[in-house]
Structure formats: structure tokens, C-alpha cells
Amino acid sequence: MRTVEIYVYDQAAGLDVMGPLEVFAAANTIMQFAGEPLAYDINICAEQKGLVTLTGGTQLHAPHRLTSGKPVDYLLVVGGLGYEQQIKNRVLLNRLHKRSLSARKLVSICTGSFLLAEMGVLDGKSCTTHWRCVEELAKQYPKVKVAPDAIFVQDGSIYSSAGVTAGIDLALALVEQDYGAELALEVARDLVLYLRRPGGQSQFSAPQKLRQIVGDDFNALHDWLMADLQQVVSVELMASFCCMSPRHFARRFTEKTKLTPARYLENLRVQRARELLETTSLTVEDIANQSGFWREERLRRSFLKILGVTPSIYRNHFGQQAKQRA
């Protein structure tokens, strides 16, 4: 039996807690029905035992106080709005760090990664977090290698998941590591989940506010490109619009946006294609034409590169029919 300890706090996200917990609990139920020993011993702890108030106002009883007690297999640190207060609490972080030393594997869910980063255990390590927070995590903790599109990341004995429901994906992966693919698949079926969801978390992010990225230096260029994404545009043509030499333009633009001009234009076209997939019933081929890719295969390659999913899968998740099903 694996031991799991979940650290919670005021304004932690309820789904960050309950998602992984239900995965481990479902594994227990399946094992119990099969006449096998339980898979996981699950405990919840907090800075002080008692009630914590999760986001949305739900109260959860933490029967255990965070201590450096018996070793555990997993220490899960969840995310939520309260993480910002948690990383300011040095006494708490010291206690959490001591507890992590007695855990075989350390796991962060969503913005729980900020607590691990503040403790210093992510220095030189790869991790991920909620897509809204990847830039902030990388900025605040430059020694951390942030994987912005990953659903979850393993680096040695440290695991991290992307936002909210990605904690469920990570918990399923842990069940698979511990007890094999058959049990993980049974858990996924019982909870009506993908065992491995397609694509990364970029598909769930809000379309990039690319005009903000270019700022005042290149906003006129942005508006000109957006006015006709079907036109054939070269770096030379963009440079001419900005009254610069191609070499000077490419250097200035890349310094400003962290994207090459060609990659920026590709992102604009993907953004337009996303909007059309979400709001129209146009064929993928027509959308490829209207967004400037001109061939369905080119659109598909760009979607896979930038979002990690095909246009068809994206439409199934976010298109009009998906909204009607919801």
C-alpha cells in the first residue's frame, strides 16, 4: 500500500484536492472489489488540523497537522488562490520542506509548484503549472525550468501538473506507475476520463493577446497582418511596411516579442483558425484557406506544433457542437 499525504490550506482549489484524491480512492474501490488489499492510504494535512476553507467557500476538515512524522510515498502540494499567502509564510515553508524530505515522491498540483519553487526544491528541475501562471513562475524563479505546455512533468522524484484537472491526469499516471496500466485504465473508465488526454495545456489557454506582445513598436504591423491573413507575407514585406531593412527588422521584432516574424504570423493564423473552429461550421479546409494556411495539412501541422492537437480534436472540445452537448 502506498501512503499519500495531501497538504491543503485556506483558498486552495477544491478540484486540486479532490481530483487526485478521487483517483486514488477509485483505485482503492477497484482493488477492494477484486478482493485485493487497498492501493493507497490517503491522509489530508494542513498547517493546523481542523477546517480549511477552499475556493468557493467549501470547508474541508484536515485531520492531521503538518509535521515531519512517518515517511510517506507521496506528498501532494495543491494550488489555488491561497498559494500567494503560502509562499510568504517562511515558518510554514520550512515545515513543509522538512516534511518533503520524508516523502519518497514530491508532487505539486497546479500553482502548488510555487510553494515547491519557493522552498528551493525545483532549482535546476523541470516542472509545469497552470497555463496562466507559467510566465510568472519562470520570472519569479529563474533557476526553475518551466515546461509551459506540459500536462504534467516528472523530474526525478518530483512531479508537477498543469492547471486544476491536470492533477487528475498526473494522479492516473502515478497509479499506472505504482500498479500498472490495467488498474489505471479501470480507474479512468470508472471516472469517465481519458487515460492520456490528447495534446498539451496550450489548447485550453486563452488565445494569445498577440497585439499586447508587440506593443507600440509594432502594433501597426499587427493590425495590417490581421486585416488580411490570407495574403502571402514575407519577412521582407513586413520589414518594408515598418520602413526597416529585413535584417534590422527581424532582430528588433524578435527582441520585442521573443518570436521570429514568421512564427508570430503563424500564431496569428492559428488564433484566427481557433476562432473559426469554435464559432462556425466551416470545413477544416475552408478554415485553412480563411486563416492563410491554404492547405489543410499546413493548418494541421501548425496546430500540432503550437497546441498539441489536431484542428478536428480542438473543434470536438471547443466548437459549437461541444457547447451544445454541454
pLDDT digits (tens, 9 = 90+) for 28-68: 999 999 999 999 999 999 999 999 999 989 999 999 999 87
Q: Give the amino acid at 195.
A: L
Question: Residue 325 — very low, low, confident or very high, per pLDDT cuts 50/70/90?
Answer: low
- The x, y and z cell numbers of residue 178, run together, are 505504482
Q: For 105-158, write each residue's pLDDT tens digit.
A: 999 999 999 999 999 999 999 999 999 999 999 999 999 999 988 889 999 999
- Judge whether residue 99 has pLDDT over 80: yes
Percentage of residues in the chain with pLDDT exceeding 90? 79
Domains and CATH numbers, the chain: 2-202 (3.40.50.880), 210-325 (1.10.10.60)
pLDDT value of position 210? 78
Lowest pLDDT segment from 85-89, 210-214, 274-278, 312-316: 210-214
Give dist(CA 71, CA 183) in Å, integer: 25
DSSP sequence for 300-321: HHHHHHHTSS-HHHHHHHHSHH
Lowest pLDDT segment from 21-30, 135-144, 195-204, 301-310: 195-204
Give dist(CA 216, CA 208) in Å, integer: 17
Q: How far is CA 164 from the centre of its chain?
A: 8
Contact at 8 Å (CB) between 170 and 21?
no
Q: For 158-174, write each residue's pLDDT tens digit.
A: 999 998 899 999 999 99
pLDDT value of position 298? 95
- Judge whether residue 9 has pLDDT over 70: yes
Give dist(CA 75, CA 158) in Å, integer: 10
Contact at 8 Å (CB) between 23 and 171?
yes
pLDDT value of position 202? 72
pLDDT value of position 324? 59
Distance in angstroms between the alpha carbons of the first and the last residue of the chain:
38
Q: For 250-295, write each residue's pLDDT tens digit.
A: 999 999 998 999 999 999 999 999 999 988 999 999 999 999 999 9
Average pLDDT over residues 85-95: 96
Which of 148-157, 232-241, 306-315 has the highest mean predicted lDDT (pLDDT)?
Answer: 232-241
Give dist(CA 295, CA 72) in Å, integer: 53
Question: Cell numbers 492501493 label which residue?
Answer: 39
pTM over cut 0.85? no
